[in-house]
Chain A
Amino acid sequence: MIHTKDLSKAYNGTTVLNIDELTIPKGQSFGLVGNNGAGKTTYFSLLLDLIKPTTGRITSNEVVVDQSEDWKPFTSAFIDESFLIGYLTPEEYFYFIGDLRGQNKADIDALTSQFEDFFNGEILGKKKYLRDLSKGNQKKAGIVAALIGNPEVIILDEPFANLDPTTQIRLKQILKDLAQKQGVTILVSSHDLMHVTDVCERIVVLEKGNVVKDLETNPTTLKELEAHFSGSMATQEEE
């Protein structure tokens, strides 16, 4: 589904991302972990053609993302709050995204009604602008907006940060369902090793722009990841 080949991104000669080859099959829930500056957001930005790769390419469903825009209809994302339009209400924002994705109001209403639990009564029908919502509620709106229009690929950067514990658990359930029952390819990045091992079938560890680990999730994965990160902490201290 998503094929990355010889991809690199450099700013002023400093390479921040360098992936020789990475293939994510359809329907996989894929987790990206790494410390700050490891290249997670850079990789997602490249996937969405928000920045230009220095070398190499990403192919999504046979479409080269920086050459054609045909990947847009089946891809959706929520990277950060800058994906929200502050002066709209959540409903208006959902309808707007729906319009862009060929969904009518009834479709959107049907979709958002499934997330009433997730919204916890704080998003819909409140007559508030998105800019006036709290960070956590903004994030909820952004994540649900990324589910509009039956996308085949969903990209979420740090979806668990800023969410309260109840919502984190609900979000994990939603993401699992999407991948397992509907065959959606989900790409998630996180600093929270526990959440990411809960949700993802496969976890890739980035370090200074390079893939250093590529794991199928099994009961020992969390231990392995914890060992890896505390180990890298130890080596850094030695440096």
Chain B
Amino acid sequence: MIKHFLNLEWKQYFRSSYWQKSLALNILLVFFALYFIVMFLGLGFGLLFILKKAYPDQDPFVIANSFLFYWLIVDLMMRFFLQKLPVMSVKPLLTLPIKRSTIVHFVLGKSALSFFNFLPLFAIIPFSIMLIREGYETAQILPWMFTLIIVVLIINFLNFIIEALSSKTDLPFLPLLATVGVLYGLEYFGIVSMTSLVGDAFMGISNNSVLILIPIVLLAIAYAFNFKILKEKLFLDSGLKSKVTEVKAADLSWTNRFGDIAPFMQLDLKLIWRNKRTKSSAFLMLIGLLYGLFFYTQPIYRDSLYAASFVGIFSTGIFLISFGQFIPAWDSGYYKMLMSQNIKYEQYLRSKFVLMILSVVIMFVLGIPYVYFGWKILVMHFAAAVYNIGVNSHVMLYGGSFNRKKIDLNQRAAFNYQGTGAVQWIIGLPIMLIPLVLFTIGNIFIGFEAGVAILIVIGVAGIVLHKKLMKSITQRYLDSKYKMIDAFSQDN
């Protein structure tokens, strides 16, 4: 049975139009993977020396254990936002003579093979080898190493439990943020020392290897719980069938002042509000807004204008990036209809453009209180907003014409909790890095004012050329019309 599943997986992956059309993206992903592997290997081999240098009079093994708490938290956070439970289209399998439990075991087993689980091994194993070479007891280090590997798997399954439970809420990342926040708070304010608690637990296992049974039992529990959740969803009427929700209509007549693009704006606003995926990209704005607090409250970053330029681009552009990169795929479900309707492409695109611009302006205005941390930060944010409006918005629209991946808004596949994966964030990187580089060039060679001026001038140039740019972007969309219709009407 597993052989059949593997065969299906293989075909699904290599026969999807997505794979065939985004080879470059896949290569980029491989590069990122290699980069992280090298980083972790370096960490694994170098950590012992780093710890010895930083804490010369303490036992590096104990120190390493005391940092494990932070690793657990960061790992959980990263996974929540980047890792998805592998999706398998189960509907066709339900009526075939396959045990439901086999399907669930397969999906869960597949998730254990995720890159996220292998990556820590590149650090854990070399570090253990280094410790043994350093003279630590093998009988002490080996159980410790295996405990870490088990903990990685526990986090893997714990993450899916959190995703499954929180996906039912409107703010899917709040429960996780709250949990992590509380844990971190306990540590930070010295109420309960989580670091020594976690550290002691690992020390305990390495001193008494029988205790390794505890994490093994925890892993079994996490797996069993996942199994239970997923098995319940494997019925047409629960996980696969959509829930019927009553419509809550909002008055959107204020959009009428935008003239001929009003129908599209109303459609877009409904699109954002009524679909889970788009809604979470709207809620990302909240994170983008608070993102500055993370940097500016720390003196090292407050004085570094590079942090400000990054925060500026990121926080004013977060909706632009998360929404913009899926234009026009958001409309892929009914793209055929739009193309046969009496519409002007330019109006359709302009509506998306106005929406993105509005989000940048709103995010800038809401971010004005950051002036508390220094007027330069406000100036920086302003320059970033202008750059986002003038350049990144057009780049996003232009990039959209290469979009060939359908988004199924109606889809509630049993295992599909989250919309965005690692790929989407990588696409966003150049959008944020290029203005950072531009600013840096100006800042280093002439000064802060020059760096800001570069961003503003380029941004204003984009705004001035808006009509021209839109014309060529529209032409791009018209040229790839047939290809887009074809790609959007394919599944996967």
* A interface with B by C-beta (< 8 Å): 48-52, 72-73, 75-77, 79, 82-89, 92, 96-97, 99-102, 127-129, 131-132, 149
Q: Quick check: B337 and A84 within 8 Å, CB to CB?
A: yes
Q: How far is the CA of A102 from the CA of B486 in the complex (A)?
A: 28
**Chain A binder among B7-15, B123-131, B338-346:** B338-346
Min C-beta distance of A221 to chain B, whole Å: 30
Q: Which residue of A lies closest to B260 (CB)?
A: A99
Return the CB mask of B223-261 against A: 1 if under 8 Å, else 0. Answer: 000000000000000000010111101000000000000
Q: A82-B334, A85-B333, A100-B263 are in contact. Are A49 and B340 (CB under 8 A)?
A: yes
Task: Give every chain B residue within 8 A of A127 (Cβ-Cβ).
Answer: 246-247
B476 at the interface (CB under 8 A from A): no
List chain B residues, Cβ under 8 A from A48.
336, 339-340
Partner of A131, one of B242, B262, B336: B242
Distance of A85 from chain B, by nearest CB (Å): 5
* Cross-interface CB contact of B341 among A52, A97, A128, cutoff 8 Å: A97
One of B274, B333, B336, B410 near A50 (C-beta < 8 A): B336
The residues of A that contact B49 with a CB separation of less than 8 Å are: none
Chain A nearest Cβ from B250, distance in angstroms: 11
Residues of B within 8 Å of A88, CB to CB, are 267, 270
Shortest CB-to-CB span from A117 to chain B, Å, is 24
Specify which of B242, B267, B333, B485 is in contact with A51 (CB 8 Å cutoff).
B485
- Residues on the A chain within 8 Å of B489, using CB: 82
Chain B residues with CB under 8 Å of A76's CB are: 340
Contact A77 B340, beta carbon cutoff 8 Å: yes
Per the 8 Å Cβ criterion, residues 332-363 of B in contact with A are 333-337, 339-343
A89:B247 contact, CB within 8 angstroms: yes
Tell me which residues across on chain A come within 8 A of B336, comparing CB atoms.
48, 50, 79, 82-83
Known pairs A72-B341, A100-B342, A101-B342; list 12 more (Cβ under 8 Å): A48-B339, A49-B340, A72-B342, A85-B267, A86-B409, A89-B249, A96-B266, A100-B263, A127-B246, A127-B247, A131-B242, A132-B245
Assess whether B271 is interfacial by the CB under 8 Å rule: yes
| Docked pose: A99 CA to B267 CA in angstroms | 11
> Is A87 touching B275 in the complex (CB atoms < 8 A)?
yes
Are A99 and B274 closer than 8 Å at their CB atoms? no
Chosen A-B contacts, 6 in total, with CB atoms closer than 8 Å, are A72-B341, A73-B342, A83-B336, A86-B410, A89-B249, A100-B263
B334 in complex: contacting residue of A50, A85, A89, A128, CB < 8 Å: A85
Chain A facing B: main interface SS: loop
Check A87–B274 contact: CB distance below 8 A: yes
In whole Å, how far is A184's beta carbon from the nearest beta carbon of chain B? 16
Interface residues of B (CB under 8 A from A): 242, 244-247, 249, 262-263, 266-267, 270-271, 274-275, 333-337, 339-343, 409-410, 482, 485-486, 489
Q: How many Å lie between the Cα of A94 and that of B175 in the bound state?
A: 39
Report whether A92 and B340 are in contact in the complex, using a CB–CB cutoff of 8 Å: no
Q: How far is the CA of A129 from the CA of B343 in the complex (A)?
A: 23
With CB as the reference atom, state the residue of chain B lying closest to A88.
B270
Alpha-carbon distance between A71 and B50 when the two chains are bound, in angstroms: 71
Give the Cβ gap from B425 to chain A, nearest Cβ, in Å: 25
> Considering the chains assembled together, what is the distance between the CA atoms of A101 and B337 in angstroms?
13
Residues in chain B near residue A92, CB distance under 8 A = 249, 270
The distance in angstroms between the C-alpha atoms of A48 and B489, with both chains bound, is: 15
Q: Which residues of A contact B335 (CB under 8 A)?
A: 82
B410 CB contacts on chain A under 8 angstroms: 86, 131
CB distance from B349 to the nearest CB of A (A): 15
Docked complex Cα distance between A75 and B263 (Å): 20
Q: Which of B262, B267, B271, B342 has the most CB of A within 10 A?
A: B342
Q: Of B244, B262, B267, B482, which one neighbours A52 at CB under 8 angstroms?
A: B482
In the complex, what distance in Å separates the CA atom of A85 from the CA atom of B249? 15
| A44 nearest in chain B by CB position | B340
Taken together as a complex, chains A and B put the C-alpha atoms of A88 and B246 apart, in Å, by 11
Task: Report the Cα distance A110→B322, complex, angstroms.
Answer: 40
- Give A82 to B340 CA distance when docked, in angstroms: 12
Q: Is the CB of B342 within 8 A of A128?
A: no
| CB-nearest residue of chain B to A129 | B247
B255 to chain A, nearest CB (A): 11
> Is there contact, CB below 8 Å, between A84 and B270?
no
- Residue of A whose beta carbon sits closest to that of B275: A87
- A52 neighbours in B (Cβ, 8 Å): 482
Distance (Å) between the CB of B401 and the closest chain A CB? 17
B482 contacts across to A, CB distance below 8 A: 50-52
Bound complex: CA A101 to CA B341 (Å): 8
In the bound complex, what is the Cα–Cα distance between A166 and B308 (angstroms)? 66
Tell whether, in the assembled complex, residue B339 and residue A129 are in contact, meaning their CB atoms are under 8 Å apart: no
Q: Are B339 and A83 in contact (CB under 8 A)?
A: no
B-side contacts of A99, CB under 8 Å: 262-263
Question: Which A residues are in CB contact (< 8 Å) with B342?
Answer: 72-73, 100-102, 149
Could you say which of B336, B341, B343, B489 has the most chain A C-beta atoms within 10 Å of its C-beta?
Answer: B341
A205 to B320, CA, bound (A): 50
Contact B245 A83 (CB under 8 A): no
Q: How far is the CA of A73 from the CA of B340 in the complex (A)?
A: 10
Q: Give Cα distance in the complex from A102 to B341, angstroms.
A: 12
